[in-house]
Structure 1
Amino acid sequence: MNVLVTGGAGFIGSHIVDGLISEGHEIVILDDFSAGNREFINPAATVIKADIRDADSVSRAFAEHKPEAVFHLAAMIELRESFKDPKAAYGVNVTGSMNVINASKAAGVTKFIFASSAAVYGDNQNLPIKESEAVAPTSPYGEQKAEIERALKESGIPSIILRYSNVYGPRQGTMGEGGVVAVFCKKLAVGSSLTIFGDGEQTRDFVFVDDVVRANIKALSSNQKFGMYNVSTGIETSINTIASILLQEAQKDTTIERTKPVAGEVVRNSLDNGLAARELGWQPSVGIQEGLGVTWEWFRTNV
């Protein structure tokens, strides 16, 4: 199948590209390289440098390569940046996404897979959160993801929306919802102390990037006209636990510094993945100890 991946040079996108190529698909990457890395690009992929905010560039890419399926990952992913500059975030996350949706519809794309986020649920504490819970984002980033979810549902394009929890793994940057893992790994690699905000008992649902790739491949083969699924482990892991495991993996006795909590930070979070298990046949397979071990090894040799 001919597949176009926006943000395919980024952390998650590049792993999805690798997975799709291993499945025999022909891949076109569309990325502006504002966050993507050319070193992450699979040499079997065709690369187009373009900004999704430029509707003409997006339309040309679709007209030239005629994708049958689209994985849309290009986004401004830093939640805090969406507060600092909501206009810029909107330009990428909404205007840019609508350009991709419109081009997909015009090109007759038969499957659109959208990388959404747990941020659409806001501060919901009915854990683990199911897809049936209300969408109530508390950040511009979450609002923008929710807006594109609605637009996809109304578009008529056969679509699967994947709401990621906190994705981590090799190639990860320090921005985004799972960025704490990369921050800790980079600091350990250069011998710096780790900083934990608050008491460190705040929890997140950390899902390994290889499991996220498998969820995307399952979504591509799904016959559903529209579906919305959490991609998560359903398990809460504290920041203290992340630090402890990484210190063990790195075999370092690094100092942990504690500072005041981040104002407005969600204290606990996890997403239920039962619907993805039932309808997509997907479940996570990599535990936190194994995943952090693989992640640390990548940072140890690449920082």
Structure 2
Amino acid sequence: MVCLLVSKHTIVIPKFISLLLDGEQSRDFTFIDNAIQANIRAAESDVTGEAFNVGCGGRVTVNELVDALNDLLDTDIDPIYDDPRPGDVRHSHADISKARELLSYEPEVGFSEGLEQTIPYYR
């Protein structure tokens, strides 16, 4: 005998799982100076007709971003999770190998240093 439990509340399990996983989306955040450097290198190079990814070459989750900001701002703010935007990718990581090879690009400002340099602007 097979017994299936079907309820109008069956959506609750997927919803809870999704909410508990929120904040683990990741992005390759980069500081504006890195983008400027890459553009200058591209303008001064002999390379034409190419597209490049520019980033730091790593991923940072939204939860890690919140932790880093809490540390730098000496706060203890918990994030409020919301549904992801339609079509939003879960993980994003810039492959900067082509920019490294053709433009000699290396990110000069890392994630943490970029946050440290950004905060005074907002203060």
Give me the TM-score of the superposition, normalised by structure 2.
Answer: 0.76
Q: Which residue of 2 aligns with 1:222?
A: 45
Q: Which residue of 2 aligns with 1:213?
A: 36
Q: Structure 1, residues 200-234: CA drift from partner, whole Å, max 9, x if none?
A: 00011111100111111111111123222111222
Distance across 1 between alignment mates of 2:22 and 2:29: 19
Q: Which residue of 2 aligns with 1:293?
A: 116
The residue type paired with residue 203 of structure 1 is S
Indicate the percent of aligned positions where both proteins have the same amino acid. 33
Shift of 1:265: 1.8
Question: Aligned-residue CA RMSD in angstroms?
Answer: 2.0
Runs of 4+ in structure 1 displaced over 3 angstroms? none
- The answer on whether the counterparts of 1:232 and 1:271 sit within 8 Å (CA) in structure 2 is yes
The answer to whether the aligner puts 1:269 opposite 2:88 as a matched pair is no
Shift of 1:261: 2.9
Q: Which residue of 1 aligns with 2:58?
A: 235
Q: Which residue of 2 aligns with 1:252?
A: 75
Uncovered stretches (5+) of structure 2, i.e. residues with no partner: 1-18
Q: Which residue of 2 aligns with 1:200?
A: 23
Structure 2 residue matching 1:229: 3-state secondary structure: coil
Distance across 2 between alignment mates of 1:211 and 1:260: 31
- The answer on whether the counterparts of 1:211 and 1:284 sit within 8 Å (CA) in structure 2 is yes
Uncovered stretches (5+) of structure 1, i.e. residues with no partner: 1-195
Q: Structure 1, residues 11-43: CA drift from partner, whole Å, max 9, x if none?
A: xxxxxxxxxxxxxxxxxxxxxxxxxxxxxxxxx
Give me the TM-score of the superposition, normalised by structure 1.
Answer: 0.33
Q: 1:225 to 1:264 in 2, by over 3 A?
A: closer
Q: Which residue of 1 aligns with 2:10?
A: none
Q: Structure 1, residues 35-79: CA drift from partner, whole Å, max 9, x if none?
A: xxxxxxxxxxxxxxxxxxxxxxxxxxxxxxxxxxxxxxxxxxxxx
The aligned length equals: 105
- The answer on whether the counterparts of 1:204 and 1:237 sit within 8 Å (CA) in structure 2 is yes
Shift of 1:295: 0.9
Structure 1 residue matching 2:50: 3-state secondary structure: strand
**Which structure exhibits the higher relative contact order, with contacts defined as CA atoms closer than 8 Å and separated by 6 or more residues?**
2
- The answer on whether the counterparts of 1:233 and 1:272 sit within 8 Å (CA) in structure 2 is no
Point out the structure with the larger strand share. Answer: 1
